[in-house]
């Protein structure tokens, strides 16, 4: 201890993966590009030319659905016009048809309707160009640095491309939306006189498959994004220009589930630390992980978990108030973090006229408090 700085004893704890049998070995695919990630953490479990920019065909429609769900209303009605007609795969819309956005999204994601894609764009934004601008804004916000969109349906066009890694990031984001999950995991649905059967064969071929989207043009070749959930872990797989994509996805997903387990480094609600409260009715409050901190690990990998918080905070403090972070490190690299929040309240204490303050409030005033503690 030096000067007025004060640190509590630092305690680090580690999570070591159980020694489960790893059946995963080196795998290969027929794809020009391929990526396998864990959905929640984004950890890359397999990569082959993951950042190469390629034509992506109808897996574009994942972005179309994401933008529609974030900017539209599911029950918003739309009247189909001649501007919605398109070549290629179709929901077989006709001018004058009236459908809600949710019905159009089923046509978009199950039967890959290029007409449905245009109708979705017009329903949400009025003009295709305005909708495409939202697609690119969303891509930028998600850090999709090797992607650019020129239309909502994925037909080959100049300036329309993405990488396998970017599409995995997009799909992982999309799967956070329960409406998206519900739509892409639907095997079939009848809308009016239309029977829509999902083109994604993995829904019946692959254990735990929950979607996501197929694609094909002559120039792009076969493209596929899939996701599967087993034992509390969701994996996202992307292949671009892959003539054997169904088999490759099943192999890659089995590889990921065999080689990694989702480990909980800190459970939501678990008290990990505490902080002093200046001017509070309670001298300190316990701090808990605001949600589960999880990360996929291979056999023998070890997470170091660090709780960071201020030495003291001013009153009042309310339960759930974010006061720090819980961080997980793998081989010294930060790989995951969640907020740490107050688990109990501390109201503001009436100040005594004498102006006196408790000794720990003077010691841990903002000018003398350490920035963080490490556990």
Q: Beta-carbon neighbour count of residue 155 at 10 Å?
A: 21
What is the per-residue pLDDT for 55? 98
- Among 8-22, 75-89, 106-120, 301-315, the minimum mean pLDDT is found in 8-22
Residue in the structure block whose two tokens are 């006229």: 353
Tell me the pLDDT tens digit for each residue of 298-324. Answer: 999 999 999 999 999 999 999 999 999
pTM of the model: 0.86
Residue found under tokens 């994004």:
225
**Phi and psi torsions of 198, nearest 5°:** -65, 130
**What's residue 337's pLDDT?**
96
Mean pLDDT of the 36-64 span = 97
Mean pLDDT calculated for residue range 149-174: 98
Average pLDDT of span 154-178: 97
pLDDT above 60 for 35: yes
Catalytic residues, by residue number, are 58, 61, 112
Alpha carbon distance 106, 289 (integer Å): 37
pLDDT of residue 21: 37
Q: Is the pLDDT of residue 155 over 80?
A: yes
CATH classification for the domain delimited by 33-259, as one of 1.10.1670.10, 3.40.710.10, 3.40.50.10140, 3.40.50.720? 3.40.710.10
How do residues 220-275 score in pLDDT, each as one tens digit? Answer: 999 999 999 999 999 999 999 999 999 999 999 999 999 999 999 999 999 999 99
User: In Å, how far from its chain's centre is CA 321?
Assistant: 24
pLDDT, averaged across the chain: 89
265-363: CATH topology is: Peptidoglycan synthesis regulatory factor (PBP3), Domain 2 (2.60.410)
* Residue 26: band (very low, low, confident or very high) from pLDDT cuts 50, 70, 90: confident
The pLDDT of residue 284 is above 50: yes
- Domain ranges in the chain are 33-259, 265-363
Encode the chain in three state secondary structure.
CCCCCCCCCCCCEEEECCCCCCCCCCCCCCCCEEEEEECCCCCEEEEECCCCCECCHHHHHHHHHHHHHHHCCCCCEEECCHHHCCCCCCCCCCCCCEEEHHHHHHHHHCCCCHHHHHHHHHHHHCCHHHHHHHHHHHHHHCCCCCCECCCCCCCCCCCCEECHHHHHHHHHHHCCCHHHHHHHCCCEEEECCEEEECCCCHHHHCCCEEEEEEEEECCCEEEEEEEEEECCEEEEEEEECCCCHHHHHHHHHHHHHHHCEEEEEECCCCEEEEEEEECECCCEEEEEECCCEEEEECCCCEEEEEEECCCEEECCECCCCEEEEEEEEECCEEEEEEEEEECCCECECCCCCCCCCCHHHHHCCCCCCCCCCCC
Minimal CA–CA distance to 281: which of 191, 344, 363? 344
Residue 300: what pLDDT? 93
Would you say the CATH fold of 265-363 matches that of 33-259? no
Confidence of residue 133 (pLDDT cuts 50, 70, 90): very high
Structure confidence at residue 350 as a pLDDT band (50, 70, 90): confident
């Amino acid at each position: 201890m030096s000067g007025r700085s004060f640190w509590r004893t630092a305690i680090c704890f580690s999570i070591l993966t159980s020694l489960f049998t790893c059946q995963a070995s080196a795998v290969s695919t027929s794809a020009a590009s391929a990526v396998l990630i864990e959905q929640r953490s984004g950890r890359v479990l397999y990569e082959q030319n993951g950042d190469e920019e390629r034509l992506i065909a109808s897996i574009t429609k994942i972005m179309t659905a994401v933008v529609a769900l974030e900017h539209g209303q599911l029950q918003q009605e739309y009247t189909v016009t001649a501007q919605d007609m398109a070549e290629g795969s179709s929901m077989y819309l006709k001018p004058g048809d009236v459908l809600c956005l949710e019905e159009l999204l089923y046509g978009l994601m199950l039967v890959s309707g290029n007409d449905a894609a245009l109708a979705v764009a017009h329903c949400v934004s009025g003009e295709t160009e305005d909708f495409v601008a939202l697609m690119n804004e969303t891509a930028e916000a998600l850090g999709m640095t090797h992607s650019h969109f020129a239309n909502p349906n994925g037909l080959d066009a100049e300036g329309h491309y993405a990488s396998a890694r970017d599409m995995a990031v997009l799909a992982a984001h999309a799967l956070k939306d329960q409406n998206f999950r519900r739509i892409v995991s639907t095997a079939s649905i009848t809308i009016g006189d239309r029977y829509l059967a999902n083109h994604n064969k993995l829904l019946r071929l692959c254990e735990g498959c929950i979607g996501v989207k197929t694609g094909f043009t002559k120039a792009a070749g076969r493209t596929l994004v899939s996701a599967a959930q087993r034992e509390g872990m969701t994996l996202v797989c992307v292949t671009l220009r892959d003539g054997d994509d169904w088999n490759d996805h099943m192999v890659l997903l089995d590889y990921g589930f065999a080689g990694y387990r989702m480990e909980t480094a800190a459970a939501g609600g678990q008290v990990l630390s505490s902080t002093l409260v200046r001017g509070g009715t309670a001298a300190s409050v316990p701090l808990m992980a605001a949600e589960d901190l999880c990360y996929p690990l291979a056999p023998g990998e070890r997470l170091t978990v660090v709780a960071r918080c201020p030495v003291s905070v001013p009153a009042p403090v309310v339960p759930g108030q974010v006061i720090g972070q819980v961080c997980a490190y793998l081989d010294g690299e930060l790989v995951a973090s969640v907020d740490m929040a107050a688990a109990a309240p501390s109201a503001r204490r009436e100040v005594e006229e004498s102006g006196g303050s408790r000794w720990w409030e003077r010691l841990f005033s903002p000018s003398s408090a350490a920035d963080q503690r490490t556990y």
